[in-house]
Amino acid sequence: MSATASAVASCATPRAARYQRRRPEQTLWYRIVQTHFATWLDLASGEFGVAPPGYVERTFRRYLECGILAHGFARAYCDTCQHDFLIAYSCKGRGVCPSCNTRRMAETAAHLVDHVFPPLPVRQWVLAVPKRLRYFLQTDAALQGAVLRIFLSEVERALRVQCPSTTNTDTSTARIGAVAFIHRFGSSLNAHVHFHCCVMDGVFEPSVNTDDRVTDDVPGVSFHAAHQLDTLAIQAVQTRARQRILRAFVRRGLIDKDDAKEMVQWEHGGGFSVDASVCIEGNDRAGLERLLRYCARPPFALEHLHQHDAEHVVYHNPKPHQGGPRELVLTPLELIDKIAALIPPPRTHRHRYYGVLAPNAPMRAAVTALAPLAISPVGAGVLCMAGCPLRGAPTPLKADTNTAPESKSRAAARYLWAMLLARIYEAFPLNCPICHSQMRIIAFINDTTTLHKILNHLGESTESPKIAQARGPPLWEAASAAERAAEMFGDAGHAQWALPTVLFPEPPINFDQRIGW
């Protein structure tokens, strides 16, 4: 075979994507935390004598150990060709680690698509409140829940009006199904509490079982799709929600009654904003998963962070405000301070369920049984949905009772690490790059002695990257001093305050995953 024919054949042969272990120690964000976190912690603790919350420091320190082989790893092995590689442990933190943030985002979206949302149209409702009210919402979880319930109750009221096909004259029995995400951040790394709610575009109501094989203790439901929402209906939701939210703030003594009356009369919604322009059709499961990933996204994205010079970094703002900068130029300490303020407190829910999807809702089991990979209960009720066509009369559909139950040792909301990577990057990490057979995890290495023996045998470092100690004055102040010294004393003064040209040097260790035992 000629060289040209061989090259064409090699290009035509599909190559399986090869998994590459992430190396957090080589990223810009890791080097910033590694170099400046101790300094930031000292400065933040000394300001007004109030130290940052303990969970903030723990989250940062766990991130510095995430993905580092010296802190433990798993070994993947191929039984066919004896190829193996190491997988470093993750910190599973929230708010700081880009990798764990991405996993949590993908896992939440995958669970909701596979096990919660049936194939029905889903609309995103977004609520933003005035800056004067965001201050109270930032740290008050009970107030966040109260505002969210008010907003979703008004959305439910609007959808009931848009569903004339409901059979019951008492519309109070018709409920919506929604999953709400509380965002505590904005696109420019600012504190901005607002709400993203994924609501099925219609209402559910109980229906009478007509199948003798179904027991009476599991009720059936009927879904009635809403007509096309217009601007007036969305504006009515915004107006009523604004009035009720302001009354709730007055009752709690957070604002005066006169101030609330004045805010009601403000133009352009008075700082309140409601958007419902995004709607995903029921058969677009990939689009629904993208929407849910957007709603469950972390506060910042690593690809938006770039180094500007030796003293500053640049964060690209994908959605700048009107007249606002698209590029945020920050010092390392300013960046750490912004990210630290956005770390969610421990034991706070990332998303909440409402309506028929609420944990104790009578119709939850019947609704979630229609999800693509739902675990259908034995004797599930008859489900009637206006899904074929979406805007037509209710058509009876039955839940699939032949779905095999998952293993009881793992909850449905927990996804395997390998399956999540395959879902995001379309590359299964446990496919052997040599023979393309499926590999398996054969060991988890936690013992320090064993860990050091393996890493020494492979020629890898047994020490984690060193964390810089707190320093003063800060590095950028020293850089300013170097400029002043150069102006006053010439090259001699400049040499005294000379700084390295690269603020974040390359790590001395590069891990090699080509392992031969």
Provide the pLDDT for residue 295: 93
Average pLDDT, stretch 123-145?
Answer: 91
d(CA 21, CA 511): 9
| Edge-to-edge strands, sheet with 122-128 | 273-280, 122-128, 191-200, 177-185, 351-355
Q: What is the pLDDT of residues 237-251, one digit of tens each?
A: 999 999 999 999 999
- Residue 49: band (very low, low, confident or very high) from pLDDT cuts 50, 70, 90: low
Residue 432's region, left for phi above 0, alpha for psi from -120 to 50, else beta, is beta
Which of 190-199, 305-314, 471-480 has the least mean pLDDT?
471-480
d(CA 467, CA 38): 8
Q: What is the pLDDT of residues 154-186, one digit of tens each?
A: 999 999 888 776 655 556 778 899 999 999 988
How many CB atoms within 10 Å of residue 103?
18
d(CA 509, CA 466): 11
Provide the pLDDT for residue 18: 66
**363 phi/psi in degrees, rounded to 5:** -95, 5
d(CA 277, CA 231): 9
- Residue 94: band (very low, low, confident or very high) from pLDDT cuts 50, 70, 90: confident
Query: Cβ(442)–Cβ(77) under 8 Å?
Result: yes
Query: What b/e sequence results for 193-228 when a residue is b if at least 16 CB atoms lie within 10 Å of its CB, and e otherwise?
Result: bbbbbbbbbbbbbbbeeeeeebeeebbbbbbbbbee
- At position 290, the amino acid (one-letter code) is R
Q: What is the SS3 assignment for 275?
A: strand
Q: Is the pLDDT of residue 496 over 80?
A: no
d(CA 123, CA 279): 4
More confident residue, 347 or 10: 347
Q: Is the pLDDT of residue 15 over 60?
A: no
Average pLDDT for the chain? 77
More confident residue, 75 or 404: 75
Taking the whole predicted model, whether its pTM rises above 0.95 is answered as no
Q: What is the pLDDT of residues 360-414, one digit of tens each?
A: 888 888 888 888 775 544 333 333 333 333 233 333 334 444 444 444 445 655 6
How many CB atoms within 10 Å of residue 268?
7
Q: Is the pLDDT of residue 486 over 70?
A: no
- At position 12, the amino acid (one-letter code) is A
d(CA 121, CA 283): 8
pLDDT over 90, % of the chain: 26
